[in-house]
């Protein structure tokens, strides 16, 4: 792992403004079943200034003393509808290959649809039933897929449980197994809205010292 898990509150100065902006956008489901719910177009194609501001702030959290970092980032708003028959109640345990680190900003006002970082129970634990995951994310044959979901997720145990507090950001290494334990909130009045950001190809002309290897190096000294 290269990046620690970081949780920080009050990410946006005016999160209500961001939510209002997100509500003006068009959302589409995944064409190949890679992820559940619907997403907006990539943020850099919608609002380049907001895209840069968000990413600069995220990078400043991880690399507080390294300015002008070059990077690639795929970021979109994501909605998972409440009380829908075409969704499983929770997500598949997975990791975000091929990215370096993931950032999720929670923009709903209920706290029970967060993200859980998990650990494999056994050395041989691995993601299984990927074709079933795709069908579930496409809203197909959902009623018959709970067994496949359970078979996959039971291989892992919860490690870090993060509540979806409004305007909270969660940052974690993209190779960390994780999932959404509850897509459906106890409060069905509001859909699960997040801004998801996937970073890769991070570069700086003076080199990048990734957080976890650097911490290990300093500990050895």
70: exposed, middle or buried (Cβ count in 10 Å: 0-12, 13-18, 19+): exposed
pTM: 0.92
Looking at residue 205, its pLDDT comes to 84
Tokens of 178: 């994780």
Which DSSP string corresponds to 93-118?
A: PB--TT-SEEEEEE-SS-SSS-EEEE
C-alpha distances (whole Å) from 81 to each of 88, 155, 189, 205 are 11, 27, 10, 43
Query: Each residue's pLDDT tens digit in the chain (221 positions)?
Result: 889 999 999 999 999 999 999 999 999 999 988 899 999 999 999 999 999 999 999 999 999 888 889 999 999 999 998 866 656 788 999 999 999 999 999 999 989 999 999 999 988 788 888 888 888 888 787 777 888 899 999 999 999 999 999 999 999 999 999 999 998 888 777 899 999 999 999 998 888 777 766 655 554 54
Burial 96-110 (b: 16+ CB within 10 A, else e): beebbbbbbbbbbbb
The set of residues, in sequence order, having a beta carbon less than 8 Å from that of 7 and lying 6+ positions away, is: 162, 168, 169, 170, 171
Q: What ranges do the domains of the chain cover?
A: 6-220
C-alpha distances (whole Å) from 51 to each of 105, 149, 181, 204 are 13, 34, 28, 19
Give me the CATH topology for the region 6-220. Jelly Rolls (2.60.120)
The span from the CA of 154 to the CA of 172, in Å, is 22
């Amino acid at each position: 792992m290269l990046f620690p898990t970081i949780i920080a509150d009050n990410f946006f100065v005016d999160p209500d403004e961001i939510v209002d902006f997100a509500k003006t956008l068009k959302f589409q489901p995944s064409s190949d079943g890679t992820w559940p719910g619907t997403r907006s177009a990539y943020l850099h194609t919608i609002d380049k200034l907001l895209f840069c501001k968000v990413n600069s702030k995220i990078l400043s959290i991880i690399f507080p003393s390294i300015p002008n970092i070059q990077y690639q980032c795929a970021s979109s708003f994501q909605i998972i509808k409440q009380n829908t028959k075409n969704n499983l109640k929770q997500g598949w345990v997975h990791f975000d290959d091929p990215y370096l680190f993931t950032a999720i900003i929670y923009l709903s006002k209920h706290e029970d649809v967060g993200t859980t970082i998990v650990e494999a129970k056994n050395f041989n634990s691995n993601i299984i039933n990927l074709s079933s995951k795709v069908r579930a994310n496409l809203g197909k044959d959902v009623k018959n897929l709970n067994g496949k979901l359970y078979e996959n997720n039971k291989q892992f145990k919860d490690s870090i449980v993060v509540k979806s507090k409004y305007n909270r950001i969660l940052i974690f290494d993209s190779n960390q197994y994780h999932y959404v334990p509850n897509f459906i909130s106890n409060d069905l009045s509001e859909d699960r809205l997040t801004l998801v950001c996937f970073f890769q190809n991070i570069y700086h002309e003076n080199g990048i010292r990734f957080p976890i290897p650097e911490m290990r190096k300093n500990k050895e000294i």
